[in-house]
């Protein structure tokens, strides 16, 4: 990356924050409930732990009424148990302990970005949904405005965040996993970053360029993971095995009588007489 260059156009800066994988909390809390044997204490602990877990893991829940899915994230959180779905302009009310969406209501004007911001947000979301549909089967994606949602024109800065979530669960095979990534995009007046070459004159141009950068970095990261997995048998798994002696000779379990220790033990125990 090079030092910022001056430009007359509004240009986005990307920051990638997070890649991680998932494990299930329900087994832990089921065991905890049996150990505590106190429903009041359990309910108090669950009311704090489950919201924190659900938001940090960015779980995806189906909204009633065929509105689609909503991501439970800090970026869409409006107040306790209410989460904005920017794609549908709906607010989902979530039961964190049961991990279900119980109700849906329309978002108010105060909860949504201005038309100027929404034009950039919708253009980026459209490109990201195409990418997620190709890269992550059954994955979900949302684009939020986290700073400057009241901006009305090109003279002020604002910030969008792209959240991607995908999961593949197969508990019967003891194999659960998920992918989560967060990309912050700052639209700062008079700033240009080398990663996004060119001057963006429209929301569509910006969206295409940003999606291209995200696709490149995530594809590169996943390729490096796959390469490391292919090497596991020759590296990690091999290191876990018990090493052979320096002579690289296996112990002769079927011919131990040649060793004096074996003969002495046999003599003491009267074996072979």
C-alpha distances in Å from residue 112, one per residue of 82, 109, 122, 146, 156: 14, 5, 12, 11, 17
Instruction: Look at residue 229 in the predicted model and tell me its pLDDT.
Output: 79
Instruction: Look at residue 19 in the predicted model and tell me its pLDDT.
Output: 39
Instruction: Look at residue 259 in the predicted model and tell me its pLDDT.
Output: 60
Show Cβ contacts of residue 273 under 8 Å, excluding neighbours closer than 6 positions. Answer: none
What is the CA angle 213-184-195, rounded to 5? 30
Instruction: Look at residue 18 in the predicted model and tell me its pLDDT.
Output: 39
Taken in order of first residue, the domains within the chain and their CATH numbers are 10-22+113-228 (3.90.1150.210)
Report the distance separating Cα 2 and Cα 257, nearest Å.
Answer: 73
Instruction: Look at residue 263 in the predicted model and tell me its pLDDT.
Output: 67
Contact 73, 163 (CB under 8 A): yes
The tokens describing 244, both together, are 């052979």
Q: How confident is the prediction along the chain (273 residues), in pLDDT tens digits per residue?
A: 333 332 233 444 554 443 333 445 667 777 778 887 888 888 888 888 889 989 998 989 999 987 889 999 999 999 889 999 999 999 999 999 888 999 999 999 999 999 999 999 999 999 999 999 999 988 999 999 999 999 988 778 899 999 999 988 777 787 777 889 999 998 876 554 434 544 556 889 889 989 999 999 999 998 988 888 787 777 776 666 666 666 666 666 666 555 666 667 667 766 655
CB atoms within 10 A of CB 46: 18
Instruction: Look at residue 79 in the predicted model and tell me its pLDDT.
Output: 87
Report the distance separating Cα 142 and Cα 6, nearest Å.
Answer: 30
User: Counting beta carbons within 10 angstroms of the beta carbon of residue 156, is it exposed (0 to 12), middle (13 to 18) or buried (19 or more)?
Assistant: middle
Residue 203 parent element (H or E): helix 203-230
């Amino acid at each position: 990356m090079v030092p910022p260059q001056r430009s007359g156009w509004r240009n986005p800066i990307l920051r990638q924050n997070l890649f991680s994988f998932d494990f299930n909390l329900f087994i832990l809390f089921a065991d905890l409930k049996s150990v505590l044997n106190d429903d009041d204490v359990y309910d108090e602990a669950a009311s704090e732990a489950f919201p924190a877990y659900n938001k940090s893991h960015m779980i995806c829940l189906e909204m009633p009424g065929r509105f689609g899915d909503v991501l439970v994230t800090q970026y869409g959180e409006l107040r306790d148990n209410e989460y904005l779905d920017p794609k549908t302009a709906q607010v989902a009310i979530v039961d964190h302990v049961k991990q279900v969406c119980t109700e849906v209501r329309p978002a108010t004007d105060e909860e949504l970005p201005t038309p100027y911001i929404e034009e950039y947000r919708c253009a980026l979301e459209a490109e990201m949904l195409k990418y997620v549909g190709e890269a992550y089967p059954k994955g979900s994606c949302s684009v939020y405005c986290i700073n400057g949602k009241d901006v009305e024109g090109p003279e002020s800065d604002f910030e969008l965040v792209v959240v991607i979530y995908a999961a593949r669960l197969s508990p019967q095979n003891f194999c659960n996993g998920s992918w989560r990534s967060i990309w912050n995009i700052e639209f700062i007046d008079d700033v240009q970053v080398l990663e996004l070459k060119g001057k963006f004159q429209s929301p569509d141009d910006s969206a295409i360029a940003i999606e291209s950068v995200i696709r490149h970095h995530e594809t590169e990261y996943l390729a490096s993971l796959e390469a490391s997995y292919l090497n596991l048998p020759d590296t990690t798994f091999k290191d876990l095995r018990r090493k052979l002696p320096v002579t690289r000779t296996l112990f002769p379990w079927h011919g131990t009588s040649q060793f004096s220790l074996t003969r002495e033990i046999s003599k003491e125990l009267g074996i072979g007489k």
